[in-house]
Amino acid sequence: MTATAMSARSDLTELGRSETALRAFLHGLPGVDQVGAEQRAAQLGTRSIKATAKAWAIDLAIRMVDLTTLEGADTPGKVRALAAKALRPDPADPSCPHVGAVCVYPSMVPYVAEVLRGPAGGAGPAGAAAAPAGAGVVHLASVATAFPSGQAPLEVKLADTRAAVAAGADEIDMVINRSAFLTGQYQEVYDEIVAVREASGPAHLKVILETGELSTYDNVRRASWLAMLAGADFIKTSTGKVPAAATPPVTLVMLEAVRDFRAATGRQVGVKPAGGIKTTKDAIRYLVLVNETVGADWLDPDWFRFGASSLLNDLLMQRTKLTTGDYAGPDHFTRD
């Protein structure tokens, strides 16, 4: 590592100590060329991925899915069924990989843990024996910090986080304080992320920027850097609870941010677009975007995830189409 990169790294860690320095840094980031970003994302979306490349992309996308259910109507039975599906998305085809993670509300974490990790004190997940060898584990993600609005006192957010981790979550999806961010109180946003980072202990921290509420790409870039500086392991686009969710240009801006952040600090941060990704075609467009923006280092479930619920069934239908030659129908897969 060169001396300049070294000093850049130490400079960046100092930023969080003063509001002025943080603001100067975030506002000093180059502005995003809106038309250029949209055009670039649209152009990459026209790539045609076929045959073996498509089969590879579909399996990778399945491994990247954070199978999500975040409804008021979630019940233990529903999330158990979802967790079972996460382990074996297509029971008819043993070669089908498992998904990246299951993502639920904190109160539902124990029920998912039971299915994924086996009953407390038991050995391994219920489906472990049948799972493909060397496939790794299905992670258990929980949203926290007063998801989705984030409008709660800090103590409540931290208690929410600790409860989720204690219940067995190994990934925490937190929301940033958009109210503070939009009023320019970057220090407050930063301190909150740092506090949640500490409260989540060993768990991976995904920081949801809720880009649909940030208005501009410049804000997305600033929020991405702010989250990464504060210690995020992943930056995630959206909660899925506001109409404007993940879009390719927003994801492009975030991918550029993680690329530049790794160049500046040496630390790699993951990206998770969430909300509105429903079809295999959409998912493959995102994979092309990843490959062309940050390269193959991020083409891995450890560094790129899809927050989605209906996407998995479409991936499974396309997978079945490739193996059998006939178009599959939604009646032949479980409805979540």
Give the footprint of another protein on this chain (CB under 8 A): 325-332
Rounded CA-CA distance 180/190 in Å is 10
Q: Which is nearer to another protein, 10 or 48 (CB)?
A: 48
Instruction: Report which residue type is found at 249.
Output: P
Q: Which is nearer to another protein, 235 or 315 (CB)?
A: 315
Structure tokens belonging to residue 20:
């002025």
Rounded CA-CA distance 294/191 in Å is 28
The residue assigned the tokens 């879009």 is 247
Look up residue 273 and give its DSSP letter.
-
Is 278 among the catalytic positions?
A: no
CB of 335 to another protein, least distance (A): 14
* Catalytic annotation, pick one of 173, 233, 282, 314: 173
Q: Which is nearer to another protein, 109 or 328 (CB)?
A: 328
Rounded CA-CA distance 184/88 in Å is 45
Peptide bond just before 91 cis, omega within 30 deg: no
CB of 331 to another protein, least distance (A): 7
How many CB atoms are closer than 10 A to CB 1?
8
* Catalytic annotation, pick one of 157, 233, 236, 282: 236
CB of 50 to another protein, least distance (A): 12
Q: Which is nearer to another protein, 17 or 281 (CB)?
A: 281
Is 78 among the catalytic positions?
A: no
Is 236 among the catalytic positions?
A: yes
3 state DSSP class of 307: strand
Full DSSP string of 2-23: -HHHHHHHHHHHHGGG-HHHHH
CB of 325 to another protein, least distance (A): 7
Residue numbers annotated as active site: 173, 236, 272
